[in-house]
Structure 1
């Protein structure tokens, strides 16, 4: 492997480009040499980073800047503030928040920088240090009242990363009305993010409940963002639903709060809080006569986690739960949707028996030309349900093999035009998803609107894990 000669300090942008043009491995000696030169080359390396036409991969120049550390701080801040494209701001901001510095106090002046993205990147530097940034809590508090909402959100995340070491200062700030409503509101959100409802004082909890009661009076149902799974039972007897799922301590909430909690818990990956995804469940009010249950109970979650075959255990839990619910309520359904891929699934039970179970990712090709399947083929079990009539199932392809011959894969508009043309000419049915089946059999939570009949009130209820560990941390929409 040939190694380029390393130049002396005082390089300009072109010389740095020459040194850093190449692969990650080939440029290692040059990167190490530039790091040693530090302040003498920091500005030139920033210029390379900010050049979207540069032959240098931006991660290579970012590595140099991060290791140079403090001398790159101000040049990067200037690059963020003067960026003429979102990509340049992203590159410079990424590097700015990750500088290898001995003391994060060097970021403090940037917390008052006139450009909001610079302030946000400085907050990210403190966020990365987690609990170690607790000594800076007092200097981070003003950022909770920043005029820019993105900076305020970044400040909340910084306090969330700091954790319990920030609670005392945040509570004290909440008790100081002279600080202004915006910063006190930010402190409230940060408190919830750090410790959940338990971190709030009695006055704040009472205020939240009053606001919830007011909002519920005029709330108009809105479509929920669907990512996860939910059950549907044909009843307005909420107490019976809570008992069926072994839920307790129900707290009345708006639909918006319930949906916020479900989405937050569904995407909880914090290993420090292992029960965040199974501590609570959102039980809806009766929606057009159906009660929907969003989330995972303790028993179901841990039964799946402890199984040798998690996929098999998941299906078994869903089927048994649906059968038990339908025995109690006459019918029950379970639905699943993902916002990150094409997964969709449903399970339908009537009178104590599962009559249909479908999982798009497990289903195998099969059945007759009408899409019906009379046997069990992986995730496509049981005869097709009447609710599926007139649809293709997600794993079925109704298009001929040559339907898109000659259409370049790089031209999505041409592909879409051919798709619509062939679909119309051949009368190919639409593909159904869990929401389509739910709309026919019960309620599609992704289509709630002012026409949805709402009876009763929704609640956040604790599972066995929740009753032991409390509500997950995190601020919820009201």
Structure 2
């Protein structure tokens, strides 16, 4: 009864007679008392964790279980295996991952027979990073776990432990009898921890052989566009590398090049992860595409995408290659921009985010009708529509758009398809000449390739 009373007190339910709620200092005293009860308080708190109508919010119960620590470890492990619903599992995972225990205490759970427990335990270790290095011997076998989710979580945990995990991962790659799946997982973790610098000579040679084999008969695939890129009317890759000041070109598959660009474009880490390398495509229907941040403009406060910078770059490149295009686009497609340079002059620059500073008249390659920034719905078009009902709002949007003739989203890839080559439309019919490469920028020459596992 005392524990139940403490739980009600923490939940501001009031005392047993239903009098006024308890004060904040009384609640905090009750929290400390409940935590001090240790193992005795765990079962009632677990019951609250799964009860949406209990005297306490689930996250308060989870927080208390975290603070109780070691006495809650075993019961929460069992709760993960027995969770009756996805909601219950999420709550148990949150409590389990933040338990106030040393990393080594999670070791037995990594060997639990239920894959849900093994996966959650590996996931919990990701937030502990190098503090969990003592569990590397228990994590490495999970790279060969029969459950995909366990393998992913184990790899994620190992990647947070750099640089101390490099040696064990290399040894796992060389241990006689290791499965191919474990060796692949260890290789991916090494790449994520330190990039090519973390691989030894044998692994680098193996990766290059695999790239060479897969590149031989590679069919172009559409690229999910999420950042600006250049298109140059040339098949002279060496000239393109020189024009952008790139060096140390490493032959890759087109898939790997696109994977590197997407990885780097979304890099959230500080430093030079987004500006160290560039993917230069082979000639695609006579155009070479350059993906990434090849210029020092990437370090400007405006990100190097201001109008004058783009126009200057396109003019310089078109003077060398005859035609040079730049396209801008975000993942969600809410921004579109393009710049066309011909023989040293800018014939058109349009940016939907800054249309007042457009340069040159509308180009025949642009969409017919209003440009993206010109779409203007009549006043009252959506009166009576519940904006929180996404499905109903989208249906109304499409209906109004058709009735008024307002064009739909017109991404830069559609303009590129008319003007040069669209990365989003690459496929078996695309004519390919030469090889794809990853090349280093000035930042890359100073800092090397950013870490990260890429698709080959």
Give TM-score, length-normalised by structure 2: 0.90
Contact 1:20–1:61 (Cα < 8 Å) also in 2: no
Runs of 5+ in structure 2 lacking a partner? 14-20
In the alignment, which residue of structure 2 is the partner of 1:50? 50
Q: Give me the whole-angstrom Cα distance separating, in 2, the residues matched to 1:72 and 1:381.
A: 66
Matched, 1:20 2:17: no
Matched, 1:446 2:424: yes
Q: Give me the whole-angstrom Cα distance separating, in 2, the residues matched to 1:396 and 1:47.
A: 57
Q: Give me the whole-angstrom Cα distance separating, in 2, the residues matched to 1:381 and 1:38.
A: 70
In the alignment, which residue of structure 1 is the partner of 2:247? 248
Cα RMSD between the aligned structures?
2.6
In the alignment, which residue of structure 2 is the partner of 1:108? 107
Counterpart of 2:48 in 1: which secondary structure?
Answer: helix
Contact 1:260–1:477 (Cα < 8 Å) also in 2: yes
Q: Within 5 Å, give how 1:182-261 maps onto structure 2.
A: 182-261=181-260
Q: Deviations over 1:243-295 (max 9, x none)?
A: 11111111111111111111111122223xx1221111110111121111111
Give TM-score, length-normalised by structure 1: 0.86
C-alpha distance 21-330 of structure 1, shift in aligned 2 (>3 A): farther
Instruction: Pick from 347, 358, 361 the counterpart of residue 353 of structure 2.
Output: 361
C-alpha distance 381-84 of structure 1, shift in aligned 2 (>3 A): farther
Q: Following TM superposition, by how much is the alpha carbon of 1:382 offset from its aligned partner in structure 2, in angstroms?
A: 4.2
Q: Within 5 Å, give how 1:70-109 maps onto structure 2.
A: 70-101=70-101, 103-109=102-108
Give the paired residue count: 446
Q: Give me the whole-angstrom Cα distance separating, in 1, the residues matched to 2:166 and 2:375.
A: 55
Q: Within 5 Å, give how 1:215-364 maps onto structure 2.
A: 215-271=214-270, 274-297=271-294, 299-302=296-299, 304=300, 307=301, 310=302, 314-339=306-331, 342-363=334-355
Counterpart of 1:395 in 2: which secondary structure?
Answer: helix
Q: Which moved more, 1:440-449 or 1:252-261?
A: 440-449
C-alpha distance 45-242 of structure 1, shift in aligned 2 (>3 A): same
C-alpha distance 239-62 of structure 1, shift in aligned 2 (>3 A): same
Instruction: Pick from 361, 364, 375 the counterpart of residue 383 of structure 1.
Output: 361
C-alpha distance 129-414 of structure 1, shift in aligned 2 (>3 A): closer
Q: Deviations over 1:127-186 (max 9, x none)?
A: 222222223322221122222222222222222211121111111111113122111111
Matched, 1:65 2:62: no
C-alpha distance 404-75 of structure 1, shift in aligned 2 (>3 A): same
Q: Give me the whole-angstrom Cα distance separating, in 1, the residues matched to 2:203 and 2:125.
A: 27
Matched, 1:399 2:390: no
Counterpart of 1:42 in 2: which secondary structure?
Answer: helix
Q: Give me the whole-angstrom Cα distance separating, in 2, the residues matched to 1:417 and 1:129.
A: 46
Q: Which moved more, 1:119-128 or 1:179-188?
A: 119-128
In the alignment, which residue of structure 2 is the partner of 1:369? none
Contact 1:32–1:64 (Cα < 8 Å) also in 2: no
Contact 1:268–1:277 (Cα < 8 Å) also in 2: yes
Matched, 1:431 2:422: no
Q: Following TM superposition, by how much is the alpha carbon of 1:347 offset from its aligned partner in structure 2, in angstroms?
A: 2.4
Q: Give me the whole-angstrom Cα distance separating, in 2, the residues matched to 1:159 and 1:214.
A: 29
Q: Deviations over 1:61-104 (max 9, x none)?
A: 22222222222222322332223333332222122112111x21
Q: Give me the whole-angstrom Cα distance separating, in 2, the residues matched to 1:439 and 1:127.
A: 42
Q: Which moved more, 1:293-302 or 1:439-448?
A: 293-302
